[in-house]
Amino acid sequence: MSRPLNDLLGKQLKRDVFNKMGVLVAPAAALLDHMLLRILEAQGINLTDEDVQSLPRAEGRPKKKEQVLVEESVEKITDIFQEIFHTKQIPMNTIQEQVIPKILQATDHPNLFVLFSSLQAKDDYTYRHNIGVGVISTMLGRWLGLKDRELSELSVAATLHDVGKMKIPLDILNKPGKLTAAEFDLMKKHTLFGYDMIKATAGTNHRQALVALQHHERQDGSGYPYGVEAGKIDFHSRIVAVADVFHAMTSKRAYRDAAPFYMTLREIYQNGFGELDAKIVYVFLAKMMQSLVGNEVLLTDGRRGHIIMIHPHDPMNPLVSFGEETFLDLSKEPSLKIDQVIV
């Protein structure tokens, strides 16, 4: 039985809500504030008690599930990769038992932008990047319909995609500036090192080793180490390539700041026409923009607003609200972009 919308003020949605045209109006986990309730009412959408849940009390509220799982995973993978650096051996049982379950849990119906914020590297890029790519690849695998067994295999492969860097000298791995040509040639060999290390590890398979080898290969043959083209790049490697680019661009590094939100999306979108797998890019961007509805964003002109609707044919330029009667259609304002998502 439907409830008067005003009775649901302060509740949280348990599911995505679509209008009669199939356009996403509010994503799961969105807070039902006055503005969102007015939007739902205008769209003729009714909600029941089954569609909403109460938020926990603000006093002493613990970190969100995604944040806790990411931090625990980063802490564990840091210890594991430091061990690998010294022993050159991969403790697969430890990874399977103490890291992969956390990644799978973190990607099971997450608050997407809380999760992305947790993944952004601070001063621990080398280690957090492995969890970042593992988490984003796993989410992509879910969205692309992978079954549980294959999804778990992808999670392992993505988390270990850079394991070959543990054979790169620290002065090159942690160099804050641009690498010389010789240093970059050595750095690129991490793909070969990782392939050999995973192949030699009990409990892994050839496809997981291929991800370490191929995650820098590109659809148009412009990647490395072998410059192979689309038909020779494994599907899991293509997924990890998208996750790798996204996490690298959204993380602060020693030599550059994180890219603005719109710049990251634009580059991934453009790369979908040559370097990255177009289907994977489309699914990734579509899911991300759908999840943006209801979130607060900072625009490039310094204003803050809430995303209230995604255009089906122009998803990267949504409709933004700044209050009861002030709206901005970014598809009609090409000079304005989303600089960052506020979480």
Amino acid, res. 84: I
- Least trusted range by pLDDT, from 49-58, 146-155, 322-331: 49-58
Give the per-residue pLDDT at 62.
60
What is the per-residue pLDDT for 141? 98
Highest mean pLDDT among 49-63, 104-118, 121-135, 155-169: 155-169
175/318: higher pLDDT:
318
DSSP codes of every residue in 88-139: ----HHHHHHHTHHHHHHHTSS--HHHHHHHHS-SS-HHHHHHHHHHHHHHH
Mean pLDDT, range 143-148, rounded to an integer: 96
What average pLDDT score do residues 98-108 get? 96
What angle do the packed helices 125-143 and 148-159 form, to 10 degrees? 160
Please give the single-letter amino acid code of residue 248: A
pLDDT band of residue 6 (cuts 50, 70, 90) is: low
Q: How confident is the model at residue 121 (pLDDT cuts 50, 70, 90)?
A: low
b/e burial code for range 147-183 (CB count within 10 A of at least 16 → b):
eeeebbbbbbbbbbbbbbbbbbeeeebeeeeeeeeeb
Overall average pLDDT of the 1-8 stretch: 60
pLDDT of residue 256: 75
What's residue 59's pLDDT? 47
Tell me whether residue 312 is exposed, middle or buried, using C-beta atoms within 10 angstroms of its C-beta: 0 to 12, 13 to 18, 19 or more. Answer: exposed
Q: Which two tokens stand for residue 280?
A: 């994977």
Q: Considering only 21-35, 193-207, 270-284, which range has the smallest mean pLDDT? A: 21-35
